Amino acid sequence: MPSCSPALRTAALSTLAVGAAVVLSGCGVVTQILGGADNNVFELNVGDCFIESEMSAVLGGGEVSEVPLVDCAEPHDAEFFFSHEMPDGDYPGDAAVTAEGSQVCEGQAFTDFVGVPYEESLLHSYALTPTEESWNTLDDREVICYVYHPDEMVTETLGGAAY
């Protein structure tokens, strides 16, 4: 049984995605300065785990250069579960990128990873998407999806959680 309505989750996802797109717009410059840290936003992998509140703190604090990853055997409430490459071409705009992120991250990839459809799950799904700057400067086309457990920390993968 979902913890909130799909409409509310979609609105929250849209707000987060727009905020992430705005914040991530400076990542290209920061990444070049950092020289590629282990937790660099452009080096995330499916299976990486983190604590969502720490991600939110990073997103709310200005330019994002890295994600505060934790070992999946340690307490966490979020996990990157799917990566999708958008097609080459001109940047399609923030709304189109956000919509594709939502469609990909709440669709079959979510069902395959969690074990139940998004609409039936209490887990939330969000996307980190390319910005216009990263699209044009870094040829960034990756949408990376993460699943988030809003009610508790876990010490294993959220894959196959079936709730």
In this prediction, residues 53-69 reach a mean pLDDT of: 69
Residue 154 lies in a domain: no
Give the chain's length.
Answer: 163
Look at residue 5 in the predicted model and tell me its pLDDT.
45
The encoded tokens of residue 90 equal: 């001109």
Residue 158 lies in a domain: no
Contact 74, 146 (CB under 8 A): no
Residue 160 lies in a domain: no
Q: Domains in the chain: how many in total?
A: 1
Residue 155 lies in a domain: no
Residue 162 lies in a domain: no
In this prediction, residues 72-99 reach a mean pLDDT of: 97
Across all residues in the chain, what is the average pLDDT?
Answer: 80
Percent of the chain with pLDDT over 90: 60
Residue 161 lies in a domain: no
Residue 157 lies in a domain: no
Name the nearest CA neighbour of 131 among 13, 29, 9, 7.
29
Percent of the chain with pLDDT over 70: 71
Q: What's the domain range around 75?
A: 6-148
The band of 53, judged by pLDDT with boundaries at 50, 70 and 90, is confident
Residue 43 lies in a domain: yes
